[in-house]
Amino acid sequence: MTDGRRHWKGYAISFVFMGIMAGTTSGLAYLMGDVVNRIFVQQNSAAVWILSGAVLALSITKGFATYGQAVSLSRVGNRIVADNQKRVLNRLLTQDVAYFSGSHTAEIMLRFSNGAQAARNVLNLLITSIGRDFLSVVGLTAVMIAQDPFMALIGLLVMPIAVGGVRSLIRKVQKIFQREFHSAVQIMTESLEAFQGIRTVKSFTMEDNMRTKIYGRIDGLEKASNRMIRAQSQSGPLMEALGGVAVGLVIMYAGWGVLHGGRTPGEFFSVITALLLSYEPAKRLARLNIDITPQLLGARMLFEILDRKAVEVDPPGAADLKLAGGSVEFKDVHFGYREGEPVLRGLSFVAEGGRTTALVGPSGGGKSTVMSLLERFYELESGSICVDGQDITQVTYRSLRNAIGFVSQDVFLFSGTIRDNIATGRPGATDEEIIAAARAAHAHDFISGFADGYGSQVGEQGTQLSGGQRQRIAIARAFLKDAPILLLDEATAALDSESEAEVQRALRQLQMNRTTIVIAHRLQTVVNADRICVVDQGRVSESGRHDELIARRGRYFNFHQLQFAGQEQRLSA
Ligand SMILES: Nc1ncnc2c1ncn2[C@@H]1O[C@H](COP(=O)(O)OP(=O)(O)OP(=O)(O)O)[C@@H](O)[C@H]1O
């Protein structure tokens, strides 16, 4: 807990309220003895006033204590949820890209939201059980013992049986919970995919398939939830029966005592009241194990994230990257996303500062991987990557990533305004700077064409931008970021020639005076690049300027010929 002491203070307060609740409840049970004896047996008229006043006072105190404990417990509970969510968010943000590509968003989201609630529920259940229920049972037992120890013993005889009875249910509950969680993740995953891929779903008329599949999952979850309720409620009949046995035995013993053994009716009523009042808290205590099990499992889902090591943590004493021209060097880099499946096999190349280096080669050769590695989204197996002579593993993540701008084919827009989206390039940028960046990116005109201009909403609930427009937003971001190193994954599709020309113009401007590494799909880029690296099977098989490589008549030359033969201005694919 980030601030455990703060939580415990809150719990201590609700504990005090619970103590008052337990005390007043026991007091009320105790008074029942006097009510019966003084008012009904002794017919003492003064006692009517005193006892009714005392009952009233105790009830009012109990009412306030009930309110106080509910409010204080909820407050501390809500704080725990909030704290836990912040901690999980922090831990998630320090995970690397590999973690996110390896786990489904739906599962992370469920752990994030339900896990934090479950952790709160565990503490609440423990506190209310110990504070309210346990104290009540202790207080009421004390009343029973004070009135008649033997009668109390009869009443409490059933307790061990109740506790033993519920134990067997716990394993069942655990198993059902796992199934419930799994079904919930599947429902969330599949419906998220259906909504995110709604165009594909509709154009392939997959609605019926989707419906059937997700219906099946929902039905599965419903069944699991029903099974859970059945298992959890199995303790109900057991407890009712045992409670009945206890009350029955007390009536038999005490009734006989009142009739034949000189016991007062007051003692009898007081014990019965205490027994009936302790019934609910005792039931809850016996069920505690069952109720807490799913919550504990839910909390474990959360703690599995919290227990993960923060991956993206700077080594102690890591220095910030010192830029001097922004040259990039890959030296004999070996890397694979999975064990035994190498993607880069000894890749080396130099991207000189301020120059444009183009990566070309067949699809799947590892070009995008090169870019991910330079941003240090993944760790190398061997070899090194240096920026201006500094190994990227030795400098801070922040300074490395601040030095790199990125424009890719699929541009991610956050929900918010166009202004906000451009400003992600440099948080805190002024309106003038944002507009200047948009102008440089050839985006100002189309943005001004919207009714709300820079204030237009984009993202999931906003204006849908075209592919070319989205790209120009990304370019504006990169202009604003003004990083010395630029990674460019050239657009290959979905741009009409007009917006393509706009995007190209903007990109040319952006590339000026920056170290640019571009995944080139267009001949034009390659022809003008200062250096072309042919990435094939995880290595740079050839490099040089366009005319040098053509003259060499090797791999690049073949690509080039192919492209011309296909009349397609693309190199990869
Ligand atoms: N996140 C990932 N997890 C696992 N494998 C991946 C991941 N990204 C890429 N790969 C694999 O790594 C290999 C290289 O992919 P990469 O995207 O770097 O190639 P590329 O040269 O950029 O291809 P293209 O020109 O088609 O974009 C491919 O075999 C691909 O399946």
Lowest mean pLDDT among 171-180, 217-226, 513-522: 171-180
Nearest CA to ligand 1 atom 8: 369
Ligand 1, residue 572: give the atom nearest the CA: 25
DSSP letters for 446-486 = HHHHSTTGGG-EESTTSPPPPHHHHHHHHHHHHHHHT-SEE
**Fold entry, domain 316-403+486-496+513-573:** Rossmann fold (3.40.50)
Distance 101 CA to ligand 1 centre (A): 13
Domain 4-303 identical in fold to domain 316-403+486-496+513-573? no
> Candidates 1.20.1560.10, 2.40.30.10, 1.10.10.10, 3.30.565.10; correct CATH number of 4-303?
1.20.1560.10
Whether 343 lines ligand 1, by a CB cut-off of 6 Å, is yes
Nearest CA to ligand 1 atom 16: 366
Region of 484 on the Ramachandran plot (φ > 0 left; ψ -120 to 50 alpha; else beta) = alpha
What is the domain partition of the chain in residue ranges? 4-303, 316-403+486-496+513-573, 413-482
Ligand 1, residue 97: give the atom nearest the CA: 1
**How far is 373 from 404, CA to CA, in rounded Å?**
12
Q: What is the pLDDT of residues 167-218, one digit of tens each?
A: 667 777 878 888 888 888 888 888 888 888 888 888 888 889 889 999 998 9
3-class DSSP state of 338: strand
Report residue 444 as tokens.
């100002």
Interacting residues of 552 by C-beta distance below 8 A, sequence separation 6+: 542, 544
Q: What is the pLDDT of residues 353-398, one digit of tens each?
A: 999 999 998 888 899 999 999 999 999 999 999 999 999 999 999 9
Mean pLDDT of the chain: 84
Q: What is the pLDDT of residues 119-174, one digit of tens each?
A: 888 888 888 887 788 888 888 888 888 888 887 787 777 767 766 666 667 777 87
Asked if residue 1 has pLDDT above 50, the reply is no
User: Is the torsion defined by CA of 498, 499, 504, 507 positive or negative?
Assistant: positive
Whether 409 lines ligand 1, by a CB cut-off of 6 Å, is no
Distance 439 CA to ligand 1 centre (A): 34
Which whole number is the average pLDDT over 235-244?
A: 77
Distance 363 CA to ligand 1 centre (A): 8
Interacting residues of 282 by C-beta distance below 8 A, sequence separation 6+: 133, 137, 159, 162, 239, 243
**How far is 180 from 172, CA to CA, in rounded Å?**
12
Amino acid found at 114: N
Q: What is the pLDDT of residues 13-50, one digit of tens each?
A: 888 998 898 899 889 888 888 888 888 778 888 888 88
Ligand 1, residue 361: give the atom nearest the CA: 21
* 448, burial (CB in 10 Å: exposed 0-12, middle 13-18, buried 19+): exposed
Whether 365 lines ligand 1, by a CB cut-off of 6 Å, is yes
3-class DSSP state of 102: helix
Nearest CA to ligand 1 atom 25: 363
**How far is 24 from 139, CA to CA, in rounded Å?**
9
Q: What is the ipTM of this complex?
A: 0.95
Distance 204 CA to ligand 1 centre (A): 26
Q: Which of 103, 333, 337, 522 to mutate to test the pocket of ligand 1 (most atoms within 8 A of CB)?
A: 337
Distance 404 CA to ligand 1 centre (A): 21
**Fold entry, domain 413-482:** Rossmann fold (3.40.50)
Whether 363 lines ligand 1, by a CB cut-off of 6 Å, is yes
Whether 147 lines ligand 1, by a CB cut-off of 6 Å, is no
**How far is 445 from 201, CA to CA, in rounded Å?**
34
Distance 100 CA to ligand 1 centre (A): 16
**Cβ atoms of 330 and 383 closer than 8 Å:** yes
**Which among 144, 340, 364, 353 is positioned nearest to 254, based on CA atoms?**
144
**Which among 358, 355, 393 is positioned nearest to 374, based on CA atoms?**
393
**How far is 437 from 219, CA to CA, in rounded Å?**
52
Interstrand relation of 515-519 and 356-360 (parallel, antiparallel or unpaired): parallel
Q: Which of 79-83, 227-231, 427-431 has the highest mean pLDDT?
A: 427-431
3-class DSSP state of 380: coil
**How far is 265 from 269, CA to CA, in rounded Å?**
6
**Which among 132, 130, 144 is positioned nearest to 30, based on CA atoms?**
144
Cα-to-chain-centroid distance, residue 96: 15
- Determine the Cα angle at 555 with ends 554 and 556, to 5°: 95
Whether 471 lines ligand 1, by a CB cut-off of 6 Å, is no
**Cβ atoms of 31 and 54 closer than 8 Å:** yes
Whether 538 lines ligand 1, by a CB cut-off of 6 Å, is no
Angle, helix 207-233 to helix 235-260, in steps of 10 degrees:
20
Distance 539 CA to ligand 1 centre (A): 14
The model scores a pTM over 0.90? no
Q: Which of 99, 103, 344, 369 to mutate to test the pocket of ligand 1 (most atoms within 8 A of CB)?
A: 369
Question: Which letter does DSSP use for residue 284 in this model?
Answer: H
